[in-house]
Structure 1
Amino acid sequence: MTHPQEKPLLLVITSGLRHYREYLLRSMSHRYRVHLIDSVAPTWELPYLYGSTVVSDTGARSVLEAAREVAAREAVSGVMSWHEEHIVQAALVAEELGLPGTAADTVRRCRDKFATRTALAAAGLPQPRFELTGSREEALAAAERLGYPVVIKPRAAGGSQGVVLVHDPAGLSRQFETTRDVPVPHAPDFDRVVLVEEYLEGPEISVDAVVHGGCVTPLFVGRKEVGYPPYFEETGHRVDSADPLLSDPDLLRALTGIHEALGCSDGWTHSELKLTPQGPKLIEVNGRLGGDLIPYLGMRASGIDPGLAAADVACGAAPHTAPSAAGVAGVRFFYPEHNDSVIASVGFDDDGLSTETDLLVTLVEPGDVVSPPRQGLIDGRVALATAVAATARECADALDRAQGALRLSVTEPSLAPVR
């Protein structure tokens, strides 16, 4: 039996939201001593921690100082973060302490969508045509050159914040400032922050992959459900352990080329691509585990543990990536109908639920004020449901039944229309 002090010590930079990330900490704690560095004292995280450091802020300077103090006391084996705003800090810690990981400059290149586009363009890899703009006038001129419809997006934001499909100059003019002004903590102060991109036809997928010694191994393919046009709110995902894309040569070739062009050598990546008639084309690469419970769905569908695989590679060990199960898992998110809805009650009726139902989670409490996209994005979700089944049809049926079982009551909903 391994004693706790014999387990490798792993630094984790911020924990995130419990409903979306607890399963990762739970898994890691079985094999690693987890030391959390965050700006708030741990609460729900405590059963999974070996230690913690509370910093005044989670900027690079504070995180590096905290990591140095831990490393001065005992040997650190690895560092990681699954939070978009802190992956650069984790990479800087790895560089300073001589730990495994992708170089900080590469992680910055993933965070900066323009830098990603530039690197892929230099390598001749498939992606939408694009231009970087700093004003409404520049964006309008770029859209004319690219041809409507176009997608506008912030240069460094995550979670689909500020990403909008626009069909004409009036729509671009109306949406530009909101996209430009999306707050992006811990990012450089760019002068030009709005990307204008060619709109690609085709379904969008995500690929969660582990990278070890430059070898890219895709583990989970997420089939997205997107709603609330012209925005790109991800309203659900489905992961099939037998998805044919996991062995598709075009996709594997594209993923390998993308990671080589960006310089990703070790860690976990979450890539989003469009399956166009010309083949897969990259939308973006995130240097972290996917959000929205996608890795959790992969774990439930295939048996591959994303928390352990990500921790292993962060500590320089070969990750275990062999599936031990075969199934389909999905998640669906639920939203209020109106902006500024005041929650009176929310829950699920047990009657009518499927045996394939996995999780039923309420994300808000009475008195909370929430809105659907665009006014509300992830923070506009009132509940989620997951299901695990033998087939995609059974999984979808279970989620439909969970949606029918949702009981949401709001008071004083805004009469303002959803925009």
Structure 2
Amino acid sequence: MSGSDIILFLDLWPSPAEAMRPILAAKRLGLEVLLVANRITPQQAQSVDYAIEVNSYDGDLVRRTIAGFPQKDRIVGVAKWLDRSVEIAAALCADLGLPSMSLDDAKVARSKFLAKQAAAAVGVSVPGNALITTRDGLAQNAEAVGFPAIIKPLSASASRYAFKVHDLAELTTAFDNLTRWTNANRDPILALSRGFILERFVDGRLVTIDGIASGDTIQFAGIIDHENTKETFLDWQHIFPAPLVAEQHAECLDAARRVVTATGVKHSPFQVEGFITRTGFTFLEMAARTAGDYNSTHLIPGVLQTDYLRDCVLSFLGHVPNGGADYRIPPNCYAGTRYKITDATGRFRALEGLGTASRIHGCEHVFVEIGEGQMIRQPPDDYFSSRVASLFAAGHTYASVVKTLKAMDASITLHLDTP
């Protein structure tokens, strides 16, 4: 790479603690960065070489914007950090003649329904599911899938707008609410979903298999253990690596390899999500982009002690990082994050106990995610503000990381002013 090469970043992760790291990874490779995003802060604009603020939910508008960018011939890759960027990135790469998965494959990877079909076609277990686009046929689809079930948008990320339903009445209410919110432009991601998926509820250990697909080479970084809130399915704890026995580990990697190949992911990091149940691995959904929620910026690099984000950037350029090999996970090395999530509603005043939490053995970081005076609401009204802080720990065992995160969480008290 030369100093005249530009990598195009489609948006950035929302957390400031995450957003800067991929920019620095590109800089370490000698690249200039063009940031195209829905909203660009002054600090972000100062951190990149070119910044264009545009409605990044509108793929056609983004493509026209890049077509008019004076330095477009210097762009050597398109990096994607958010789910909504996956299809737009594929279209841009086709426009610019850059390495990427195809647009058709990107649409499959982005759809929770089509991705399950692709996985099932190559022998990967998936829960019973049905595509729902209208109110007609809800009863028939429910009978085919069974209860309890989950209804959610086809393309929303981070389990936003996922509802567990136990009977047809609950399903109908959830469908009506989702449809109303979509029509009211409540969240731009709903407008991109083009429908909903009903899938049988799966109980088990939730994991993601993370890695990089460089052309036809699939490289695994490892498997991350996840825990979600019971009612709203928000991620609230990740630990890497997941404490799996050898047979479970091998089955997860085999399933992920099949899914990544079947969905055509190329020249991109990926994250394959599923449950480990009594009968084996069951695939849920995937992300054909760099995993967020601090997985790619803190957990994976913290354990592997390698420049994983640099390798992610290299994959967007069409290179095969790490010699094409899987990443080696050192023994007795674990990292985890837990989100301080509140079930209260009010205006944020303070977090008490941050000093105590930061002095607990094994504490790595504490990031406050919201600003003083910000209004905190609960899902489904707001899927982001209830996460008030992110806590990070490291340790020599899985259990030691869990213990540290619990102690950190218990030492912090949230103070809200009631609305």
Instruction: Give the TM-score normalised by the residue count of structure 2.
Output: 0.88
Shift of 1:323: 4.3
Asked if 2 retains the 8 angstrom alpha-carbon contact of 1:213 and 1:265, the reply is yes
Counterpart pick for 2:9 among 12, 18, 22: 12
What is the CA RMSD across the aligned residues, in angstroms? Answer: 2.6
May I ask how many residue pairs the two structures share in their alignment? 406
**Which residue does 1:273 correspond to in 2?**
274
* Structure 1 residues 224 and 336, CA gap change in structure 2 (3 angstroms): same
**Which residue does 1:345 correspond to in 2?**
350
Percent pairwise identity: 19
Asked if 1 retains the 8 angstrom alpha-carbon contact of 2:343 and 2:386, the reply is no
Shift of 1:101: 1.3
Give the Cα–Cα distance (whole angstroms) in 1 for the partners of residues 167 and 148 of structure 2: 7
The answer to whether 1:68 aligns with 2:54 is: no
Shift of 1:118: 2.7
Give the Cα–Cα distance (whole angstroms) in 2 for the partners of residues 240 and 157 of structure 1: 26
**Which residue does 2:361 correspond to in 1?**
355
Instruction: Give the TM-score normalised by the residue count of structure 1.
Output: 0.88
Letter of the 2:311 counterpart: A
Asked if 2 retains the 8 angstrom alpha-carbon contact of 1:157 and 1:184, the reply is no
Unaligned segments of structure 2, at least 5 residues: none
Pairs within 5 Å for 1:145-294: 145-180=144-179, 181-182=181-182, 183-185=187-189, 190=194, 193-229=195-231, 231-240=232-241, 248-294=249-295
Give the Cα–Cα distance (whole angstroms) in 2 for the partners of residues 387 and 7 of structure 1: 39
Shift of 1:315: 0.5
**Which residue does 2:51 correspond to in 1?**
52
Larger mean CA deviation between 325-334 and 177-186 belongs to 177-186
Give the Cα–Cα distance (whole angstroms) in 1 for the partners of residues 385 and 352 of structure 2: 17
Per-residue CA distance 1:325-347 (angstroms, 9 max, x = gap): 65211111112232x31212225
Asked if 2 retains the 8 angstrom alpha-carbon contact of 1:29 and 1:49, the reply is no
**Which residue does 2:99 correspond to in 1?**
100
Asked if 1 retains the 8 angstrom alpha-carbon contact of 2:236 and 2:341, the reply is no
**Which residue does 2:27 correspond to in 1?**
29
* Structure 1 residues 121 and 406, CA gap change in structure 2 (3 angstroms): same
Give the Cα–Cα distance (whole angstroms) in 2 for the partners of residues 211 and 258 of structure 1: 11
| 2:285 counterpart SS class | strand
| 2:178 counterpart SS class | helix
* Structure 1 residues 376 and 59, CA gap change in structure 2 (3 angstroms): closer
**Which residue does 1:417 correspond to in 2?**
none
Asked if 1 retains the 8 angstrom alpha-carbon contact of 2:6 and 2:76, the reply is yes
Per-residue CA distance 1:259-281 (angstroms, 9 max, x = gap): 22212232111111111222211
Unaligned segments of structure 1, at least 5 residues: 414-419
Counterpart pick for 1:336 among 322, 336, 342: 342
Larger mean CA deviation between 80-89 and 38-47 belongs to 38-47
**Which residue does 2:407 correspond to in 1?**
401
Shift of 1:58: 4.8
